[in-house]
Amino acid sequence: MPLIKVAVLDDYQGVALRMANWSSLDGRAELTVFNDHVSELDAVVERLAPFEVVCAMRERTPMGRPLLERLPNLKLIVSTGARNASIDLVAAKGLGITVCGTGYVNHGAAELTWALIMAAAKYIPQEHASVHAGGWQTKISKDLKGSTIGIVGLGTVGASIARYARAFEMHVIAWSANLTEAKAAEHGARLVSKAQLFRDADIVTLHLVLSERTKRVVGAAELASMKPTALLVNTSRGPLVDEAALIDALSKNAIGGAALDVFDAEPLPPGHPLRLLPNALTTPHIGFVTEQTYKVFYQDSVEAILAWLDGRLVRRMN
Protein backbone atom coordinates (compact mmCIF):
# COMPACT_ATOMS: atom_id res chain seq x y z
CA MET A 1 0.00 0.00 0.00
CA PRO A 2 1.37 3.48 -0.84
CA LEU A 3 1.99 5.73 2.11
CA ILE A 4 -0.55 8.45 2.83
CA LYS A 5 1.04 11.86 2.29
CA VAL A 6 0.64 14.17 5.30
CA ALA A 7 1.52 17.87 5.32
CA VAL A 8 2.14 19.64 8.63
CA LEU A 9 1.73 23.35 7.94
CA ASP A 10 3.18 26.52 9.43
CA ASP A 11 5.46 24.95 12.03
CA TYR A 12 7.14 28.31 12.60
CA GLN A 13 9.30 27.15 15.49
CA GLY A 14 10.29 23.80 13.94
CA VAL A 15 8.90 21.81 16.89
CA ALA A 16 6.07 19.67 15.46
CA LEU A 17 8.05 16.44 15.33
CA ARG A 18 9.28 16.66 18.92
CA MET A 19 5.99 17.79 20.46
CA ALA A 20 4.28 14.46 19.76
CA ASN A 21 5.03 10.81 19.10
CA TRP A 22 4.55 10.48 15.36
CA SER A 23 6.07 6.98 15.24
CA SER A 24 2.63 5.37 15.32
CA LEU A 25 2.26 6.54 11.72
CA ASP A 26 5.44 4.76 10.61
CA GLY A 27 4.76 2.56 7.60
CA ARG A 28 1.39 4.20 7.02
CA ALA A 29 2.11 7.87 6.35
CA GLU A 30 4.84 10.04 4.89
CA LEU A 31 5.23 13.31 6.80
CA THR A 32 6.32 16.62 5.30
CA VAL A 33 6.70 19.53 7.71
CA PHE A 34 6.66 23.11 6.43
CA ASN A 35 8.32 25.69 8.66
CA ASP A 36 7.62 28.66 6.40
CA HIS A 37 4.33 30.26 5.42
CA VAL A 38 2.91 30.87 1.97
CA SER A 39 -0.30 32.81 1.45
CA GLU A 40 -0.80 33.40 -2.29
CA LEU A 41 -3.48 30.98 -3.54
CA ASP A 42 -1.50 29.44 -6.41
CA ALA A 43 1.50 28.91 -4.15
CA VAL A 44 -0.63 27.17 -1.52
CA VAL A 45 -2.25 24.97 -4.17
CA GLU A 46 1.14 23.98 -5.58
CA ARG A 47 2.41 23.14 -2.11
CA LEU A 48 -0.57 21.08 -0.99
CA ALA A 49 -1.53 19.35 -4.25
CA PRO A 50 0.21 16.01 -3.46
CA PHE A 51 -1.23 15.55 0.03
CA GLU A 52 -4.18 13.49 1.23
CA VAL A 53 -3.94 14.87 4.78
CA VAL A 54 -3.19 18.42 5.93
CA CYS A 55 -2.48 19.34 9.54
CA ALA A 56 -3.32 23.03 9.92
CA MET A 57 -2.10 25.20 12.79
CA ARG A 58 -5.13 27.27 13.75
CA GLU A 59 -6.00 29.92 11.15
CA ARG A 60 -2.46 30.42 9.84
CA THR A 61 -3.38 29.01 6.41
CA PRO A 62 -7.02 29.77 5.48
CA MET A 63 -8.79 27.00 3.58
CA GLY A 64 -11.72 28.41 1.69
CA ARG A 65 -13.61 26.93 -1.23
CA PRO A 66 -11.27 28.38 -3.93
CA LEU A 67 -8.39 26.45 -2.36
CA LEU A 68 -10.23 23.25 -1.47
CA GLU A 69 -11.70 22.88 -4.97
CA ARG A 70 -8.16 22.77 -6.37
CA LEU A 71 -6.95 19.99 -4.05
CA PRO A 72 -8.53 16.80 -5.43
CA ASN A 73 -6.21 14.55 -3.41
CA LEU A 74 -7.16 16.10 -0.08
CA LYS A 75 -9.27 13.81 2.12
CA LEU A 76 -8.62 14.96 5.70
CA ILE A 77 -7.89 18.28 7.39
CA VAL A 78 -6.79 18.15 11.01
CA SER A 79 -6.97 21.63 12.50
CA THR A 80 -5.52 22.35 15.91
CA GLY A 81 -8.16 23.56 18.35
CA ALA A 82 -11.89 22.98 18.52
CA ARG A 83 -12.90 25.52 15.87
CA ASN A 84 -11.35 27.19 12.84
CA ALA A 85 -13.26 30.01 11.20
CA SER A 86 -10.85 30.07 8.25
CA ILE A 87 -11.90 26.61 6.99
CA ASP A 88 -14.98 26.49 4.78
CA LEU A 89 -16.70 23.52 6.41
CA VAL A 90 -19.61 23.55 3.95
CA ALA A 91 -17.26 23.38 0.97
CA ALA A 92 -15.18 20.68 2.63
CA LYS A 93 -18.24 18.52 3.30
CA GLY A 94 -19.46 18.93 -0.26
CA LEU A 95 -16.04 17.88 -1.57
CA GLY A 96 -15.90 14.81 0.68
CA ILE A 97 -13.13 16.21 2.88
CA THR A 98 -13.31 15.29 6.56
CA VAL A 99 -12.40 18.14 8.92
CA CYS A 100 -11.59 17.46 12.53
CA GLY A 101 -10.15 19.34 15.48
CA THR A 102 -8.04 18.68 18.54
CA GLY A 103 -8.10 19.42 22.23
CA TYR A 104 -7.00 22.78 23.55
CA VAL A 105 -5.28 24.27 26.59
CA ASN A 106 -6.93 27.60 27.24
CA HIS A 107 -4.76 29.30 29.87
CA GLY A 108 -2.14 30.55 27.40
CA ALA A 109 -4.26 33.38 26.00
CA ALA A 110 -5.16 34.67 29.45
CA GLU A 111 -1.54 34.55 30.60
CA LEU A 112 -0.35 36.47 27.53
CA THR A 113 -3.15 39.00 27.92
CA TRP A 114 -2.00 39.77 31.43
CA ALA A 115 1.64 39.91 30.33
CA LEU A 116 0.71 42.49 27.68
CA ILE A 117 -1.31 44.51 30.18
CA MET A 118 1.63 44.58 32.58
CA ALA A 119 4.15 45.34 29.85
CA ALA A 120 2.07 48.19 28.40
CA ALA A 121 1.09 49.69 31.76
CA LYS A 122 4.64 49.58 33.10
CA TYR A 123 6.31 50.55 29.78
CA ILE A 124 8.55 47.51 30.03
CA PRO A 125 9.60 47.39 26.32
CA GLN A 126 10.55 51.07 26.35
CA GLU A 127 12.50 50.88 29.61
CA HIS A 128 14.24 47.70 28.47
CA ALA A 129 15.28 49.45 25.26
CA SER A 130 16.50 52.45 27.26
CA VAL A 131 18.72 50.32 29.50
CA HIS A 132 20.17 48.45 26.51
CA ALA A 133 20.89 51.77 24.80
CA GLY A 134 22.82 53.00 27.82
CA GLY A 135 20.00 55.09 29.26
CA TRP A 136 17.90 54.84 32.39
CA GLN A 137 14.36 55.79 33.45
CA THR A 138 12.19 57.41 30.78
CA LYS A 139 8.55 56.75 31.74
CA ILE A 140 6.14 56.93 34.67
CA SER A 141 4.14 53.73 34.76
CA LYS A 142 0.40 53.34 35.24
CA ASP A 143 -1.05 51.99 38.51
CA LEU A 144 -3.23 48.92 38.20
CA LYS A 145 -4.52 48.96 41.79
CA GLY A 146 -7.66 51.06 41.92
CA SER A 147 -7.94 51.39 38.14
CA THR A 148 -10.78 49.99 36.05
CA ILE A 149 -10.49 47.15 33.58
CA GLY A 150 -13.26 46.65 31.04
CA ILE A 151 -13.61 43.08 29.77
CA VAL A 152 -15.46 42.64 26.49
CA GLY A 153 -16.56 39.01 26.57
CA LEU A 154 -16.64 37.13 29.87
CA GLY A 155 -16.13 33.56 28.66
CA THR A 156 -13.31 31.26 29.71
CA VAL A 157 -10.47 33.68 28.97
CA GLY A 158 -12.37 36.78 30.05
CA ALA A 159 -13.26 35.13 33.36
CA SER A 160 -9.58 34.38 33.97
CA ILE A 161 -8.72 38.02 33.31
CA ALA A 162 -11.39 39.10 35.80
CA ARG A 163 -9.80 36.83 38.40
CA TYR A 164 -6.32 38.20 37.72
CA ALA A 165 -7.63 41.77 37.89
CA ARG A 166 -9.26 41.21 41.27
CA ALA A 167 -5.93 39.90 42.58
CA PHE A 168 -4.45 43.28 41.55
CA GLU A 169 -7.31 45.08 43.35
CA MET A 170 -8.76 46.56 40.17
CA HIS A 171 -12.38 47.48 39.51
CA VAL A 172 -13.81 45.02 36.98
CA ILE A 173 -16.58 45.93 34.56
CA ALA A 174 -17.76 43.77 31.68
CA TRP A 175 -20.00 43.74 28.64
CA SER A 176 -21.05 41.44 25.84
CA ALA A 177 -24.28 41.14 23.91
CA ASN A 178 -25.66 38.26 26.00
CA LEU A 179 -23.94 38.86 29.33
CA THR A 180 -26.26 38.98 32.36
CA GLU A 181 -25.80 40.71 35.70
CA ALA A 182 -25.75 37.34 37.45
CA LYS A 183 -23.05 35.94 35.15
CA ALA A 184 -20.92 39.05 35.55
CA ALA A 185 -21.29 38.97 39.32
CA GLU A 186 -20.31 35.29 39.34
CA HIS A 187 -16.88 36.39 38.08
CA GLY A 188 -16.59 39.43 40.30
CA ALA A 189 -17.47 41.88 37.54
CA ARG A 190 -20.16 44.53 37.18
CA LEU A 191 -22.26 44.47 34.02
CA VAL A 192 -22.33 47.80 32.19
CA SER A 193 -23.37 48.96 28.76
CA LYS A 194 -20.90 48.83 25.92
CA ALA A 195 -20.77 52.63 25.81
CA GLN A 196 -20.06 52.89 29.54
CA LEU A 197 -17.33 50.28 29.39
CA PHE A 198 -15.36 52.12 26.71
CA ARG A 199 -15.94 55.45 28.45
CA ASP A 200 -14.96 54.37 31.98
CA ALA A 201 -12.25 51.72 31.55
CA ASP A 202 -8.57 52.46 31.97
CA ILE A 203 -7.85 49.18 30.17
CA VAL A 204 -10.19 47.56 27.64
CA THR A 205 -9.45 43.93 26.81
CA LEU A 206 -11.27 41.88 24.16
CA HIS A 207 -12.25 38.24 24.60
CA LEU A 208 -14.96 37.46 22.05
CA VAL A 209 -15.28 34.71 19.47
CA LEU A 210 -15.05 36.24 16.00
CA SER A 211 -18.32 36.11 14.06
CA GLU A 212 -20.28 38.35 11.73
CA ARG A 213 -21.94 39.82 14.82
CA THR A 214 -18.68 40.62 16.63
CA LYS A 215 -16.58 41.74 13.66
CA ARG A 216 -15.50 45.38 14.13
CA VAL A 217 -17.16 45.45 17.55
CA VAL A 218 -14.57 48.12 18.31
CA GLY A 219 -14.76 50.91 15.76
CA ALA A 220 -14.00 54.60 15.50
CA ALA A 221 -16.86 55.53 17.83
CA GLU A 222 -15.69 53.22 20.61
CA LEU A 223 -12.08 54.37 20.28
CA ALA A 224 -13.17 58.02 20.35
CA SER A 225 -15.05 57.45 23.60
CA MET A 226 -12.05 55.97 25.41
CA LYS A 227 -9.98 57.97 27.88
CA PRO A 228 -6.89 59.53 26.26
CA THR A 229 -4.78 57.50 28.72
CA ALA A 230 -6.63 54.19 28.23
CA LEU A 231 -5.11 51.03 26.76
CA LEU A 232 -6.77 48.68 24.30
CA VAL A 233 -5.70 45.03 24.48
CA ASN A 234 -6.63 42.41 21.88
CA THR A 235 -5.45 38.80 22.10
CA SER A 236 -8.59 37.28 20.55
CA ARG A 237 -8.91 38.02 16.83
CA GLY A 238 -7.75 40.99 14.78
CA PRO A 239 -11.04 41.73 12.97
CA LEU A 240 -12.81 42.43 16.27
CA VAL A 241 -11.24 45.88 15.86
CA ASP A 242 -11.51 48.29 12.96
CA GLU A 243 -7.78 48.28 12.26
CA ALA A 244 -7.77 51.48 10.22
CA ALA A 245 -9.61 53.32 12.98
CA LEU A 246 -7.18 51.98 15.57
CA ILE A 247 -4.16 53.07 13.54
CA ASP A 248 -5.70 56.51 13.20
CA ALA A 249 -6.33 56.76 16.95
CA LEU A 250 -2.81 55.64 17.79
CA SER A 251 -1.28 57.98 15.23
CA LYS A 252 -3.11 60.91 16.83
CA ASN A 253 -2.36 59.69 20.40
CA ALA A 254 -6.10 59.72 20.98
CA ILE A 255 -5.74 56.75 23.35
CA GLY A 256 -2.88 55.77 25.63
CA GLY A 257 -1.82 52.82 23.49
CA ALA A 258 -2.66 49.34 22.28
CA ALA A 259 -1.28 45.92 23.09
CA LEU A 260 -2.02 43.50 20.25
CA ASP A 261 -1.35 39.83 19.61
CA VAL A 262 -3.72 39.50 16.64
CA PHE A 263 -4.18 41.36 13.36
CA ASP A 264 -6.32 41.45 10.24
CA ALA A 265 -3.51 39.93 8.16
CA GLU A 266 -1.12 37.42 9.71
CA PRO A 267 1.82 37.36 9.53
CA LEU A 268 1.67 41.15 9.79
CA PRO A 269 3.07 42.53 6.50
CA PRO A 270 6.50 44.23 6.60
CA GLY A 271 6.18 47.98 6.95
CA HIS A 272 2.66 47.74 8.36
CA PRO A 273 1.86 50.82 10.52
CA LEU A 274 1.31 48.66 13.60
CA ARG A 275 4.93 47.51 13.34
CA LEU A 276 6.06 51.14 13.47
CA LEU A 277 3.80 53.04 15.86
CA PRO A 278 5.61 53.61 19.18
CA ASN A 279 2.40 53.30 21.20
CA ALA A 280 1.53 49.88 19.74
CA LEU A 281 2.95 46.92 21.67
CA THR A 282 2.79 43.97 19.27
CA THR A 283 3.40 40.24 19.56
CA PRO A 284 3.08 37.69 16.70
CA HIS A 285 -0.11 35.79 17.72
CA ILE A 286 1.56 33.81 20.50
CA GLY A 287 -1.32 33.56 22.98
CA PHE A 288 -1.80 29.88 22.20
CA VAL A 289 1.88 29.15 21.59
CA THR A 290 2.80 27.29 24.77
CA GLU A 291 4.47 23.93 25.35
CA GLN A 292 1.40 22.33 26.91
CA THR A 293 -0.86 23.57 24.13
CA TYR A 294 1.45 22.40 21.36
CA LYS A 295 1.79 18.95 22.92
CA VAL A 296 -1.99 18.60 22.97
CA PHE A 297 -2.32 19.98 19.45
CA TYR A 298 0.22 17.70 17.82
CA GLN A 299 -0.49 14.52 19.76
CA ASP A 300 -4.21 14.88 19.08
CA SER A 301 -3.35 15.45 15.40
CA VAL A 302 -1.52 12.12 15.35
CA GLU A 303 -4.47 10.39 17.02
CA ALA A 304 -6.91 11.95 14.55
CA ILE A 305 -4.91 10.73 11.56
CA LEU A 306 -4.72 7.23 13.06
CA ALA A 307 -8.46 7.19 13.72
CA TRP A 308 -9.16 8.28 10.15
CA LEU A 309 -6.81 5.66 8.72
CA ASP A 310 -8.50 2.98 10.85
CA GLY A 311 -12.00 4.11 9.93
CA ARG A 312 -12.79 5.14 13.50
CA LEU A 313 -14.68 8.23 14.61
CA VAL A 314 -12.77 11.49 14.57
CA ARG A 315 -13.46 14.77 16.41
CA ARG A 316 -15.30 16.44 13.53
CA MET A 317 -15.68 20.19 13.31
CA ASN A 318 -19.24 21.38 12.85
Kindly state whether residues 168 and 42 are assigned to the same domain: no
Residue 58 catalytic?
A: no
Kindly state whether residues 253 and 277 are assigned to the same domain: yes
The pLDDT value recorded for residue 317 is 78
Domain containing 243 equals 107-282
The pLDDT value recorded for residue 46 is 98
Kindly state whether residues 111 and 100 are assigned to the same domain: no
The pLDDT value recorded for residue 318 is 64
Kindly state whether residues 266 and 154 are assigned to the same domain: yes
The pLDDT value recorded for residue 202 is 98
Kindly state whether residues 124 and 236 are assigned to the same domain: yes
pTM above 0.85, yes or no: yes
Intervals of the chain under pLDDT 50: none
Kindly state whether residues 169 and 274 are assigned to the same domain: yes
Kindly state whether residues 39 and 128 are assigned to the same domain: no
The pLDDT value recorded for residue 120 is 98
Helix locations, the chain, DSSP H:
41-48, 65-68, 89-94, 107-121, 124-132, 156-167, 181-186, 194-200, 220-225, 243-251, 273-276, 291-310
Closest CA to 189 of 211, 165, 205: 165
Residue 237 catalytic?
A: yes
Q: Is 253 among the domain residues? A: yes
Which one of 127, 266, 272, 315 is the catalytic residue?
A: 266
Which one of 58, 60, 285, 303 is the catalytic residue?
A: 285
Q: Is 317 among the domain residues? A: no
78, 53 in Cβ contact below 8 A? Answer: yes
Residue 70 catalytic?
A: no
CATH code, domain carrying 227? 3.40.50.720
Which one of 237, 272, 275, 303 is the catalytic residue?
A: 237
Closest CA to 205 of 214, 224, 192, 218: 218
